[in-house]
Amino acid sequence: MAARWRILVVALLLAGPAAAVRNAVGQSAGRTVAGVVQDSSTGEALPRAYVSAVGAANTALTNTDGRFALFGVPAGPLTLEVRYIGYAPATIRIGDAPADTGTVVIRLVRPVIRLGTVDVESQRILGVDAGSRVGEIAVSAEQVATTPSLGEVDIFRTLQLLPGVSNANRATSGLYVRGGTPDQNLVLLDGMTMYHVDHFFGLFSAFNADAVKDIRLFPGGYPAKYGGRVSSVVELTGKTGDETTFRGSAGLGLLSARAAAEVPLGRGSLVVTARRSYTDIVQSRLYDKLFAVTGGSTTTIQQPGPGGGGPGGGGPGGGGAFFNAQTLAPVFYFYDANAKLSYRPSEHDLVSLSLYAGDDRLDQSQTSQVTFRGGPGGAFGGGTGIGDGSAGSIANTDVSDWGNRGVSGRWLRQWSPRWSSDALVAMSSYHSDADRSSSAVLAATAGNAGTLARPSVREHNTVEDLTVRVDNEITASTRLRFTAGAGITRSHVQYNFTQGQGDSTTGGVRRGAEGLLAAVYAQSEWAPTRSLLLTTGLRVSADDATERTYAEPRVSASYQVNRVVRIHGAWGKYNQFVNRVENEDVLSGSRDFWLLADTGLAPTGAEHRVGGITFDLNDYLLSVEAYDKKLDNVSLFSRRFRRVGVAADFNTLFYQGTGEARGLEFLVQKKYGRLTGWAAYTLAEATERYDEVDDGAAFPSAQDQRHEAKVSAAYQLGQWTLSSAFTFGSGTPYTSPESQYYLTLLDGSRVGYIHVGDKNGERLPSFHRLDAALFRRFTGNARFDWEVGLSVFNLYDRANVAYRQFDLTTTPITVTDVRSLGRTPSIDVRVFLK
C-alpha cells in the first residue's frame, strides 16, 4: 500500500513539470542570456557555478563545460551575479542588446589567499559550500590545500571532516557516509568509476589534488543521474588546463614527489600530473612510523617462535621455531598519474580524453634462519613438525599489489542555449592481489632435509567495467530544467581466494561474474514558486546478471521559508550491483573484496529518507539534518560458520541480510572572513542483521559510530594560513574471541575451541586527534613562486587504537592494540612555474 502511495506522489510530482512545460512553451516574453563561466587566469571552465539575474527570478547552474543560460530575462540592462566555490563572486552588467546572439564570458578570480594580497574580509570566498544546494556539498581546491594532512594535499581527508562523513581513525581513505561503507560511494573521476580510493593503506587518497578542479559530495538522496551505489556520490572533475599559457609545478614531501604540467594546444590543452612515493628507495623515519601503523614492522625481532595449535588447530601444538634473527625490510611504493587532453573543435563542443593509473605494491617477503624446536606441532601457527634443535630457514612470501586504471572519452555539446549533451565512454579496472605463503626448509645437516608445508593464503580480485552513457540537460524555462539520459555498463568481476597448507588447498572461493546493466533516467527540477523547488526523477535499470529490472524513484524538495530559513527533504531508492563483501577475519581485521551481483547474490538495495533545516545567517550557516537508510541484501563472507562438509567449498559461506543506518547531523559553519571553518556533530547508528549470524539478532555494523564531532578551522594571518582539524569519535565495534573451552567427544577425544563473541559485540576505545598546519606561498622571481606547508598530524600525540589484533599462536594468547599514527610532523614544498 505504501509503495502505491509513493508511486502516486511521484506521478503527481512528474505531472507538475509537464504542465509547466506547456506554460514554458507558451512563454515568449523576455530574452535568453547565455554564457560561460571561466577561471580568470587559466580560462578553465567552472562547472556548477551559480548564475542569477539580480532583481529577477532567473537563476542557472553552469554545466560541465561552464555554460549556462537564463531564460525569460526582462528586457533592459541586466546585472548578473556569479558565485563559485573558492572564487570571488562577480557581478557583471549586460547591456540591452539581444544576448541570444552572443555568449557572455564571465571570468571569476580565484584569489591566492596565501599571498596575502586579498582582503579576505570583503571577498566572501566560500571554502566549503554545504548550504546552496540540497543534498550537495562542494569543496574548494583552496580548502583542500589548507586542510592539515600527512604532507600530501589530500582531497578525501578534507571530505572526511564534513558532517555525516566519518573515517578519521580507519586505515582507509574511503568515506563512511551516513552509516554506509566506502564501496557504497560512487566515486567518479571524469566519469570513470574508481573502485579503490587510497594509497598506503589509506594514509593518502588515490587522487592527486593537482589534477582535480571540482569536488562534489552528494551524501544522500542524490539525483537520478547517478546509479549503481547505495550510499553517496563523490564527483571529481579533472582540470582541463590553461589553453593559452604553459604552467607547471613540482612538489616534494617526506614520502613522495609530484609534478604537474598544463600545456596549451591551440584550441585545447593537455594536463599531466604524476606522483610517486620514493619509499622503496629512501625509507625515512616517517616511513617506518607510517608502515608500523599499517601493521607491518621494519624492526629486527628476536623472539621465541609461535607454539602452534593451542585449542583447536588440530592438536596440542608445540612445534614452534626459534627465530634467531628476523630482519624485515619491506619494499613499498605507490604512484598515480593523470592525463587529460581537451580540445574545442568549435565554440559549442569540447572533447576530452582522461586517463588515470594508480598502483600500490608492498613486498614484505623475508627469509629467516631459524632453529626449530618442540614437539609435533599443530596445524596452524608455527608448528613445523620438526624435532628439537634442527637448523633451517623459514621463507615467507608476503606480496600485495592493488590499484586502479581508467580511461574516459567525453564529448560535451551545447546544441542550443537550452540543450546540452554529455556523451561518455569510460573504462575502469581495479585489481588487488595478495600472496601470503611460507615454507620451512630444513638444512641438509639436520639429517632429514626437506621442505615443509606451511599455511598459505592467496587472493585475487579484479573489477573491470566499460560504460557508454549520454546525459542531456534541457532547460525549458527559468523554473524548469530536465535531465535525462541512458547508458549501458558491462562489468566483469572475479574473486579467487585460496587457503591452503603448502601446495595443497584446504578451501577457497572462485567466483566470477559478468553482467550488462542498461539504465535510463529522467529528472525534472521544477520551481512552481520562487520559494519551492521540487526535484523528481526515475531511474530504471535492467540487469542481465540478476535477470531483473529495478525501478528507482527519487524525490527531493526544498522550501525557502524566508531569507534565512530553508527546509528540505529527499526520498529515493537505490541499487548497487557491484558490491564489496566483508571477508570476516576476527583475528587481524576483516578485509573486503568486490563481487558482482548475480542470481546467487542479490544486489544491495537502499531506501533513503532525508530531512533537514538550514539557517543561512550571512556569515554563518547552521543546519540540522536527519537521515534514515534501510538496506537489503548487504553481504558478508565468513568462514566462522564453516562445517567440515563444506570445508573445500567456501562458496556456500556467503550470507545476505538487511541493514539500517540513521542519524542526526548538526553543522555550524563560519563561511567568510579571516577565520573560517565549521563544527559538526553526528549522532548515528548503523546495524545489520543476518539469519545465520548470532541467531538472526541485529548487531552494530563495523562502521557504526554513535558520536562523532569535528572542528575544522582556518585562520588567515598575513601571508600565513593556520589551520587545524580536531576530531572525536566514539569507539567502533569489532568482533572478539572471548574464551576457550574443551569438549569431550563420545569417542573419548578431547577437542578445544576458541569461542568468538557476538558479531561486533565489543568496541574500541573512543579516539580523538588534533591536526594542525601552517601554509605560506612565497613570491619568488619572475619565473616561479613557491609554497611551503608544515603539518603536524596528531599534535598532542594521542595513542588512538586503530584496531585490535589477536594472536592465537602464542601461549598464552596475546592481544595487541595497533595504535594509530602518533605525533607526526611533515613538510611539503611546491614550486610553481609562472
Partner 1 sequence: MNIRSLPAISLFACAAVACTTEPTLPDASEQWVIEAFLYAGEPVDGIRITEALPLGSSDTAGVPIDDAVVTLVRSGVRFSLTLAANGTGRYHYAGNDLEVAPGDVFTLEARRNGVVASGTTVVPSPPESVSLSADSLVIAAFGGGRGGGGRGGTGSQLIARWPNTSRELFYVVVESVDSSAAPITAGFRPDRRFIFAPIAADSFAVSTLSLSYYGLHQVRVYHVNAEYAALYESRQQDTRDLNEPATNLTNALGVFSAFSSRTAAFRAVAAQ
Instruction: Tell me the DSSP string of 485-498.
Output: EEEEEEEEEEEEEE
CA distances from 476 to 173, 417, 509, 575 (A): 41, 10, 53, 30
**How many other β-carbons are positioned within 10 Å of the β-carbon of residue 301?**
11
Q: Which is nearer to partner 1, 510 or 834 (CB)?
A: 510
Closer residue to partner 1 (CB): 23 or 506? 506
Q: By the 8 A CB rule, do 601 and 635 touch?
A: yes
Q: Nearest distance from residue 763's CB to partner 1, in Å?
A: 12
Measured from the CB atom, the residue of 632 and 817 that comes closer to partner 1 is 817
Distance of closest approach, residue 499 Cβ to partner 1, in angstroms: 7
Tell me, rounded to whole angstroms, the distance of Cα 310 from its chain centroid.
Answer: 40
**Shortest distance in whole angstroms from residue 767 CB to partner 1:** 10
What span, in angstroms and rounded, lies between the C-alpha atoms of 756 and 520?
A: 46
Tell me whether residue 278 or residue 615 sits nearer to partner 1 (CB atom). 615
- Record the cell numbers describing residue 125, joined without a space: 570566498
> Considering beta carbons, is residue 319 or 537 the nearer one to partner 1?
319
Residue 720: Cβ-neighbour burial (10 angstroms; 0-12, 13-18, 19+): middle
CB of residue 471 to partner 1, shortest distance in Å: 41
- Residue closer to partner 1, measured from CB, 28 or 119: 119
Extract the C-alpha cell encoding 374.
Answer: 618442540
47 three-state secondary structure: coil
In the bound state with partner 1, the residue whose beta carbon lies nearer, of 242 and 582, is 582
Shortest Cβ 462–partner 1 spacing (Å): 24
Q: How far is the CB of 457 from partner 1 (least distance, A)?
A: 8
Closest contact distance (angstroms) between CB of 469 and partner 1 is 42
Locate cell 563420545: which residue? 746
* Minimal distance, residue 642 CB to partner 1, in Å: 4
Q: 3-state DSSP call for residue 217?
A: strand
Q: How far is the CB of 415 from partner 1 (least distance, A)?
A: 48
In sequence order, the 6+-apart residues with CB closer than 8 A to the CB of 367 are 393, 394, 395, 396
The residue ranges of DSSP E strands in 417-503, in sequence order, are: 419-442, 450-477, 480-501
d(CA 524, CA 532): 13
- CB 448 within 8 Å of CB 381: no
Q: How far is the CB of 154 from partner 1 (least distance, A)?
A: 21
Q: How far is the CB of 740 from partner 1 (least distance, A)?
A: 5
Alpha-carbon distance of 516 to 493, in angstroms, equals: 12
Q: Which is nearer to partner 1, 358 or 381 (CB)?
A: 381
| Distance in angstroms (rounded) separating the CA atoms of residues 404 and 802 | 26
CB of 748 vs partner 1, minimal distance in Å:
5
* Nearer residue to partner 1 within complex by CB, 179 or 311: 311
Please tell me the distance from the alpha carbon of residue 612 to that of residue 161, in angstroms, as a whole number: 19
Nearer of residues 77 and 748 to partner 1, judged by Cβ:
748
Q: Residue 114 or 769: which CB sits closer to partner 1?
A: 769
Picking from 220, 281, 269, 261, the residue whose alpha carbon sits closest to that of residue 242 is: 269
Q: Which residues, 6+ apart, have CB-to-CB distance to 805 below 8 Å? A: 295, 587, 588, 589, 815, 816, 817, 818
Nearest to partner 1 of 180, 310 (CB atom): 310
Task: Report, in Å, the least distance between residue 647 CB and partner 1.
Answer: 9
For the chain, give the number of residues. 834
- Closer residue to partner 1 (CB): 46 or 714: 714
**Cα–Cα dist 449/763, whole Å:** 47
Minimum distance from CB of 631 to partner 1 (Å)?
A: 26
Residue 763 and residue 700: Cα distance in Å, rounded?
Answer: 10
Nearer CB in complex with partner 1: 267/670: 670
247 - beta bridge partners?
Answer: 262
Dihedral angle computed from the Cα positions of residues 575, 683, 131 and 45, in that order, rounded to the nearest 10 degrees: -50
Cis peptide leading into 812, omega within 30 of 0? yes
Which residues does residue 511 pair with via DSSP β-bridges, in sequence order?
495
CB 28 within 8 A of CB 72: no
The CA-atom distances, in angstroms, between 667 and each of 132, 164, 670, 687 are: 14, 10, 10, 24
What minimum distance in Å lies between the beta carbon of 287 and partner 1?
Answer: 24
Kindly tell me which of 337 and 646 has the beta carbon lying closer to partner 1. Answer: 646
Cell numbers representing residue 323 in the block: 627465530
For partner 1, the closer of residues 2 and 644 by Cβ is 644
DSSP assignment letter at 231: S
Distance CA 161, CA 710 (A): 6
Question: Is 668:616 a contact under the CB 8 Å cutoff?
Answer: no
Q: What is the nearest approach in angstroms of partner 1 to the Cβ of residue 809?
A: 8
